[in-house]
Structure 1
Amino acid sequence: MTGERAARAGRWPAGMRLAVTTLTVLPVRGGRVDRPVAAVAMGLAPLIGALLGVVLAGLNEGLRALGAPLLVAAGITVAAGALFTRGLHLDGLADTVDALGSYRSGPAALEIMKKPDIGPFGVVALAATVLIQAASIAALGWWPIVIGWTAGRLAISLACRRGVPSARPGGLGAMVASTVPTLAVVSVAAVVLAAAIPAVPGRPWQGPLAVVVALGAVLLLLRHCTRRLGGVTGDVLGACAELGTTLTLITLTLR
């Protein structure tokens, strides 16, 4: 019994390490990796997103204070966000869009997703995402940026909730798919919604609405990927993160 209790307690530090090593470039020493640890890691994804958001918002504000034009500061911020995550989420977005844009299903679509090159659908998706994120950041303050990156990583928790299958028997998707309890996702989402209330001064509803819009779109993407691909992959998780971040930022800019 003592050993079982110790194993459960050990999931949290191991899960935090896995979340950091999976979602950032920080050189954290690896540890225990299994599905219980993956559940903790994917449940903590919004926290990692919030920390990334704070760093990026600080970078953006610092560049503005130094006199950089708003769009230049925003472009550097988006580039830094890609650097801090190894570009994995953007790569996942491109691969997912290429696979879905091929109009193929099942193994044929997954094979397209595995190819190292990027097709025209993926190129357009990358360009549009980077441009939209930069333009949105140029129009926003520091807290909306934090909310944007937090919501994007909340999308990963949502994609890893129980009931969402893995498209492949192996890989990152198989490790983390269907690991996060739905109640945990709902609880974390409630915290993020509350944190989003002050994102737009004078409009306390707009921040939570931005998160809801983003998560709604992510649910539609997950439904489509489950139908076409059979479930989620690591690339699909990256696509969910970028979609969630981008739509949150867009909605926060609306006046």
Structure 2
Amino acid sequence: MTGPARGGPLAALGLFSVLPVPASARVPGAGVLRWLPLVGVLLGALAFVPALAVWRGEGEGSPLLAAALVVGALALLTRGLHLDGTADLADGLGSGRPAEQALAIMRRPDVGAFGVAALVCLLLVQVTALGAVLAGSSRPTGLLCVVLAAAAGRVAVLHAAARPAAPGSSLGVLVAGARTPVARWTATLLLLAGAAGLRLATGGSVGDAAWAVAAVLLAPAVGAGLTAHAARRLGGVNGDVFGAVVEVATTVALVSLAAGVTWA
């Protein structure tokens, strides 16, 4: 397979999801990270499907159970890749050790107390925030909110990729082509336009659209704060930082969308 193909959307799907792609496409090439937001859109749409078994929108069914199914499906579709990174980063940063020792803790296969606490809190907030969103949404709006949150978490990674890699990290191929301002700001602007336009198209008011835009703006901003802190502590970023940024930014987007249901 040629270099561009190895850095295309099929390679991104093979690397960041369990979706079947040709074996040759699973070899990452330069620029593969640029397709991560698109992967998020697809995974968000697929993860939403199980919710329809227990929730019909407009207050019918169980929005909290539907939210749990969506969050669980996202974890399955990504092999728990980003959750694993979140737990590793929490253990490394929570240890309070110097960068070299913190990185060594993050490379261990086990999950420590900080990692467990981070995962429990993160998943609890994701499920309850999405449950609140679905409780006040139609099915099209619910689908849009899930897709926006999943995409926002991954756009945040494009901004994180602008940081230097941590010692010992093998991110060179993944971030090649994704560090340019064009890549990350194009993805950001497309996300903002999609949030506003699609929220209006699903029957939302101007206020609803503004909340959607605020959610997808706040998610990368918080992701940038987490990235800056991790880079200071670890001497750069690595795959675990990227995974944590995905999960934290996705959570922030869901909480913001839930706030919009309450206050819009």
TM-score by length of 1: 0.87
Shift of 1:65: 3.5
- Residues 179 and 232 (structure 1), Cα distance of their counterparts in 2 relative to 1, 3 Å cut: farther
Moved over 4 A (4+): none
Name the aligned partner's letter for residue 30 of structure 2: A
Aligned partners of 2:95 and 2:61: how far apart in 1? 41
Gaps of 5+ in 1: 1-5
- Aligned equivalent of 2:30: 38
Gaps of 5+ in 2: 134-141
- Aligned equivalent of 1:3: none
- Aligned equivalent of 1:56: 47
1:168 paired with 2:173, answer: no
Shift of 1:27: 2.6
Shift of 1:57: 2.2
Aligned partners of 2:84 and 2:248: how far apart in 1? 13
- Residues 95 and 199 (structure 1), Cα distance of their counterparts in 2 relative to 1, 3 Å cut: farther
Name the aligned partner's letter for residue 206 of structure 1: W
- 1:69-105: CA deviation from partner (whole Å, max 9, x where unpaired): 2211211211111000000100100110111111123
- 1:207-234: CA deviation from partner (whole Å, max 9, x where unpaired): 1111111111111111111111111111
- Aligned equivalent of 1:209: 214
Mapped contact 1:17–1:30 kept (Cα < 8 A) = no
- 1:159-190: CA deviation from partner (whole Å, max 9, x where unpaired): 223xx11113343x343246411111101100
Q: 1:113 aligns with which of 106, 114, 121?
A: 106
Over the matched positions of the two proteins, sequence identity in percent amounts to: 36
- Aligned equivalent of 1:226: 231
Shift of 1:17: 2.3
Aligned partners of 1:74 and 1:32: how far apart in 2? 30
Mapped contact 1:155–1:218 kept (Cα < 8 A) = yes
Mapped contact 2:212–2:257 kept (Cα < 8 A) = yes
Mapped contact 2:41–2:148 kept (Cα < 8 A) = yes
Residues 190-201 of structure 1 mapped to structure 2, 5 A cutoff: 190-197=189-196, 198-199=198-199, 201=204
Name the aligned partner's letter for residue 195 of structure 1: G
Residues 103-182 of structure 1 mapped to structure 2, 5 A cutoff: 103-140=96-133, 141-161=142-162, 164-171=163-170, 173-177=171-175, 179-180=177-178, 181-182=180-181
Mapped contact 1:61–1:142 kept (Cα < 8 A) = no
Shift of 1:199: 3.7
Shift of 1:139: 2.1
Shift of 1:128: 1.0
Mapped contact 1:160–1:176 kept (Cα < 8 A) = no
Name the aligned partner's letter for residue 110 of structure 2: D
Moved more, 64-73 or 179-188: 64-73
Moved more, 189-198 or 238-247: 189-198
Residues 59-70 of structure 1 mapped to structure 2, 5 A cutoff: 59-65=50-56, 69-70=62-63
Shift of 1:49: 0.2
